[in-house]
Structure 1
Amino acid sequence: MTKAIMIQGAGSNVGKSMLVAGIARACVKRGLSVAPFKPQNMSNNAAVTADGGEIGRAQALQARACGLEPLVDMNPVLLKPETDTGAQVIVQGQRFATLKARDYGKQKAQLMPAVLDSFRRIGVGRDLVIIEGAGSPAEVNLRAGDIANMGFAEAANVPVVLVGDIDRGGVIAQLVGTHAVLSDPDNELIKAFAINKFRGDTTLFAEGLNIIAQRTGWASLGVVPWFADAWRLPAEDVMDIASRTGGDIKVAVPRLNRIANFDDLDPLSATPGISVEIINPGQPLPGDADLIIIPGSKSTIADLAHFRSQGWDIDLTAHVRRGGHVLGICGGYQMLGTSIIDEDGIEGTPCRVEGLGLLNVQTVMKPQKRLARSTATYQPTGDAVSGYEIHIGETTGPDCERAWLSLDGRGEGASNTSGQVMGCYLHGLFEADSFRAAFLSRLGKPLTDHRYADSVDATLDALAEHLETHMDISQLIALAGPV
C-alpha cells in the first residue's frame, strides 16, 4: 500500500525542499521505495525530465535523493515568472499558457484534476510519496482553489507536517499563528510540526516545543540544527547561491532579473579553488575576474536591457580588452551576439534589439521551445558532456563556425576569433568533471580535482544522517496516510 505525507512550511524558504530531499534519502536507506511530489512550484530554475518535460530543479534533486530519474509527474504545475505580475504556466511538463497572476488565481482550481492524476501515477509501486508544499498555508486569502498546500492535502486526503524556520525568528508565532488562522478542517490535517535551521544547543528550545504542542495539539518531530553543508546541494533559488570567495580562479556572474537555469553554477561553486561571486544590481563586474558567465534568462530581451542599465556592458567590454574570458549560456549566449530579433513578440512587443556584440551571431526568436536532454563532446579534448537544452530561439552567424561542442552530429555553440568569448545552449555542462577541469585550464590556473556528482550524493547521505539524528523519522513515516 502506498502512503503519503506532506511537508508544508510556516513561511517561504523554511527549508522544505532540502528537508524533503533529506527525508527521502533517509527513507531510501531504510529500504523504502520513495518518490517526491510537489503539486505546484514557482521557479525559473527548471530541470528537463526523462519523459521530455520540465519540472522545478528542487524536485530533480529530490528524485536523485530517491534514486529515481526526474519525471514530469513529480511537479505537475510549474510557474515560471516572466514579469512581476505574470508567468508561464507549465502543466505536466509542457507549456499550458502565459497568465497574469490574477488570471492564474481564477484558473488554478481547474488544474487540480491534472495534479491529482500525476499524484496517483507517481505513487504507483511506491511505499511512500513525500509531498512538498509551496509558500505557506497561512496565506488563507489564497485558500479558495488552492492546489499547492491545504487544498491539495484535502483533495488527496494526506496528513501534513508543518515546518517552522527558527533562524528568521518568531518561530512560535509562525506555527501557533498558522494554527490560529487555519480552518478547523485544515488544522485537523496537520498531525505534527518540526523546527528547522536551529543554531546552537537544541535542548534550549524544549520549552518552546511544549508551548507549540500545547497551543496546537500537534506532535513534535524535533528540532533540526542548521545543516552547514546545504550549500553543496544544487540551489533552486538564486538567492540561495552564496558567493564563495578565496579561490585562485574567480568567476563572476551578474544576477539578471529573470535569471533561469543557473544550475550551471553549482558545480563551480562546489569545486575547491574556484570563487563564484554573484554580482547584484548596483555593483560593477569585478575587474579581477578570470571568467564572467552570463547565465540563462526567462526574458532575454528585458534582461539585456537590465544588463545595460547596470553599466555591465561597459564592464564586460573592458574585461575582454584586459584578456578576460566570457561564457554565455542560453539567454546569456543570445545576449552576446550582434542582435536579437523577435518579430512575433514572443517576449513582449515585436522588436529587434542590438546585442552586446562580442560574438558575431544573431538570434531569431521562435515560438517553439526546445526541450532536450543531450550528450555532447567538448571538441578541444574529446571530453563527454551531458546536459540539457531548454530555450526558444535559433542562433546563427560566422562565429558558429567555431563551435566548441559536438551535439547530435552538429556543431553547438560559438566562439570569437581569440577564443576568449564563447557561448552555447547546453546547460549543466560543468557537472562533467573532466570537461570542467579542461575548460577552466584555459584560464592558466591550477584546479583541484573534484568529483561533483559524488559530492552531491555524499551530501545527501550526510543530510539523511543529520535528520535521522535530530528528527523523528520513524514517527513521520508512521504518520503517513494511505492513498
Structure 2
Amino acid sequence: MPTLMIQGCTSDAGKSTIAAALCRLLARRGLSVAPFKPQNMALNSAVTADGGEIGRAQAVQAAACRIAPHTDHNPVLLKPASDCTAQVIIQGQPIGHLNALDYHAYKRRAKTAVFDSWRRLAGSYRHVVVEGAGSPAEVNLRDNDIANMGFAEEADCPVWLVADIDRGGVFAHLTGTLACLSASEQARVKGFIINRFRGDIALLRSGIDWLEDKTGKPVLAVLPYLHGLDLAAEDALPQTRGHGEGFRIVVPALPRISNHTDFDPLRRLDRVDFRFVGPGEAPPAADLIILPGSKNTRADLDWLRERGWADAIARHLRYGGKVIGICGGYQMLGERIEDPDGQEGAPGASDGLGYLPVSTRLAPAKTLINVTGRLTLGGREARLAGYEIHHGVSLARGGHPVRLDDGRSDGAVSDDGQVFGCYLHGLFDTPDALDLVLDWAGCAARSPVSGADALEAAIDRLADALDTALDWETARRAGLCLD
C-alpha cells in the first residue's frame, strides 16, 4: 500500500505537523489513511482505543485521519526516566527500563514489532503517512535504525525532507542532511518542504532555485509560519511566557515533566497569565500552582525541594492560594511515595509534601485507561473526560474529588479545601470541568472551547495552509498517491 515518510533535518523541524496536515488532506479526499511513527521518544503520551500507550503526536495524527488512536500507530515509545535510561513501551505496553546501550542491542527485537504494526496498517488502510524521529543525518545511530532511513529502506517508501527556516541555515540543513546519507538513501528523498517561513516568498526564490539545481530535488512547499497554531507539542515545552496581567497560574517545568499538554486549555484563556517556570527561575507569586505529571516522581520531587518550591508552596497556601496536583504531582502532594522495585529510578521511598492524605506505592503494572466521570469541588459538580497513565497505586483517606463512570473514585482534597489532586490527565479539556476548577481557584475566566474542538480547528488550519502551499502535481511525482 502507498506509504510516504516525512523526515526532518532536526528535531522540531515540523515532521509531526506536516504529517498531521497530510493525514487530514487525504482524509478530506475520502481516502482511508493512518499515521505511523516507528519509534518515538517523548514524555507526552496518549491512551489508545485498544488500551495501550503511544506518543501524543500520533494520537493527534489519528484525529487528523478521523480514526481512533491505536498502538500500531506508534509501536515503539521511549519515555526518558533519566539522562541515560528510558522506559521502553512496545506496541502500547511497557517492557522495562533500558539504558542507551542496552536499547541499542534490543532494537533488533523492536524492529519486529515495528514492521508487524506497519504491515497491519498497510493491510487495513489505503495510505500510511509515516513520521521519522530526530534526523536521518545522525550517523552514530545508523546501525539497526528503525526510526528513519533504516525503516524507509526496508519498507521501500519515498521520503520528504522537512527543514525549519525560522531557525536559520535552511539550505545548509537540507544539503548537509543529504550529504550524510548513502547513495540509495539520497535517491529515496523525493523532495523538500521548507517550514515556518515569514515574509515575501519572492525573496526566497533564488535560494529555492539554487537548492533545486544543486540537489536535483524539488521544493514541494514553502509553509508559512502559522502564528498561534494551537497544536499539541510532541515533547518540547511550548514557548509560553506570562504577560504579567490577570489571574496567574504557574507550573514548574520539572526535568521529567510528562503530558504537559494537560495545560494547553489554560494557555488559551483570556485574562489568565499562564507560565511554565524553568529551572533557572525562582518560584514566582501566583494565584494557582499546579504540579504536573512526571516520569520520575521522586527525583522531580527532590528537584522541587532543591529549587525552593516546597517553601514557595507553603508560603502560597498561607496567603490563601490554591494548589492542584496531576498524576505525579498528585503523588508529590501526598504523604509518602514508595518505589520498592525501582519502577522510576533507584528503589526507595520519599516523604511527600504532606498536603493530601495520600500514600502511593509504585507497582509494575501500569494503568492505561480512558475515563469519564464527575468532578466535585466546593459542593458543585461537572462532567469530565480524560485518561490515566501511571504505575502508582494511591490510597487516599477522606473524600475523593473525582467519581468515575466505571465505579472507581480518584484523588483527594485537603481538609481546608485549598489543595486537590488526581490521576486524571485531560482534566481541563472539558469546558464544564475547567470552569469549575477556575471557580474553585477564584478565577473569573471561562473556557472558550473544548480541547477536542480546539484540536480540530488547529488541524484544519494547518491542513489548509499545506493545501495552499503544496505543489500538488510535483507532490504526485514525489510519491504522494491520491488514488
Alignment TM-score, normalising by the size of structure 1: 0.95
Superposition pairs of residues 20-419 of structure 1, within 5 angstroms: 20-230=19-229, 232-245=230-243, 248-287=246-285, 289-379=286-376, 380-398=379-397, 401-407=398-404, 408-419=406-417
**Is the 1:49–1:69 Cα contact (8 Å) retained in structure 2?**
yes
Distance 1:227 1:462 in 2: 9
Q: Secondary structure at the match of 2:72?
A: helix
Residue type matched to 2:442 in 1? G
Residue type matched to 1:356 in 2? L
Distance 2:236 2:172 in 1: 28
Distance 1:157 1:11 in 2: 22
Deviates more, 1:258-267 or 1:41-50: 258-267
Q: Deviations over 1:264-289 (max 9, x none)?
A: 101111233332200001312221x1
Distance 1:94 1:77 in 2: 9
Alpha-carbon distance, 1:333 to partner? 0.5
Residue type matched to 1:457 in 2? E
Deviates more, 1:451-460 or 1:331-340: 451-460
Equivalent residue, structure 1, for 2:439: 441
Q: Secondary structure at the match of 2:192?
A: strand
Q: Secondary structure at the match of 2:380?
A: coil
Residue type matched to 1:403 in 2? H
Tell me: CA distance 1:245–1:33, structure 2 relative to 1, closer, same or farther (3 Å): farther
Residue type matched to 1:358 in 2? Y
**Is the 1:414–1:424 Cα contact (8 Å) retained in structure 2?**
yes
**Is the 1:235–1:241 Cα contact (8 Å) retained in structure 2?**
no
Residue type matched to 1:117 in 2? D
Alpha-carbon distance, 1:366 to partner? 1.5
**Is the 1:159–1:191 Cα contact (8 Å) retained in structure 2?**
yes
**Is the 2:16–2:57 Cα contact (8 Å) retained in structure 1?**
yes
Q: Secondary structure at the match of 2:205?
A: helix
Distance 1:456 1:246 in 2: 27
Q: Secondary structure at the match of 1:239?
A: coil
Deviates more, 1:260-269 or 1:103-112: 103-112
Alpha-carbon distance, 1:247 to partner? 5.6
Q: Secondary structure at the match of 1:229?
A: coil
Distance 1:356 1:444 in 2: 23
**Is the 1:244–1:269 Cα contact (8 Å) retained in structure 2?**
no
**Is the 2:296–2:345 Cα contact (8 Å) retained in structure 1?**
no
Distance 1:272 1:32 in 2: 38
Residue type matched to 1:280 in 2? G
Q: Secondary structure at the match of 1:463?
A: helix
Deviates more, 1:383-392 or 1:121-130: 121-130
**Is the 2:32–2:125 Cα contact (8 Å) retained in structure 1?**
yes
**Is the 2:27–2:33 Cα contact (8 Å) retained in structure 1?**
yes
Residue type matched to 2:456 in 1? D
Distance 2:50 2:474 in 1: 34
Distance 1:134 1:63 in 2: 17
Q: Secondary structure at the match of 2:4?
A: strand
Alpha-carbon distance, 1:89 to partner? 0.8
Residue type matched to 1:337 in 2? G
Alpha-carbon distance, 1:109 to partner? 2.9
Structure 2 portions without partners, runs of 5+ = none
Alignment TM-score, normalising by the size of structure 2: 0.95
Deviates more, 1:241-250 or 1:111-120: 241-250
**Is the 2:49–2:69 Cα contact (8 Å) retained in structure 1?**
yes
Alpha-carbon distance, 1:449 to partner? 4.1
Once superposed, what is the RMSD of the aligned Cα atoms?
1.7
Residue type matched to 1:447 in 2? A
Residue type matched to 2:194 in 1? I
Deviates more, 1:324-333 or 1:356-365: 356-365
**Is the 2:265–2:429 Cα contact (8 Å) retained in structure 1?**
yes
Tell me: CA distance 1:51–1:475, structure 2 relative to 1, closer, same or farther (3 Å): farther
**Is the 1:256–1:306 Cα contact (8 Å) retained in structure 2?**
yes
Distance 1:449 1:424 in 2: 21
Residue type matched to 2:371 in 1? S
Tell me: CA distance 1:282–1:244, structure 2 relative to 1, closer, same or farther (3 Å): closer
Residue type matched to 2:154 in 1? A
Deviates more, 1:365-374 or 1:322-331: 365-374
Alpha-carbon distance, 1:388 to partner? 0.7
Residue type matched to 1:123 in 2? A
Q: Secondary structure at the match of 2:316?
A: helix
**Is the 1:403–1:415 Cα contact (8 Å) retained in structure 2?**
yes
Distance 1:266 1:449 in 2: 11
Tell me: CA distance 1:146–1:331, structure 2 relative to 1, closer, same or farther (3 Å): same
Alpha-carbon distance, 1:444 to partner? 2.6
Distance 1:466 1:95 in 2: 37
Tell me: CA distance 1:259–1:449, structure 2 relative to 1, closer, same or farther (3 Å): closer
Equivalent residue, structure 1, for 2:423: 425
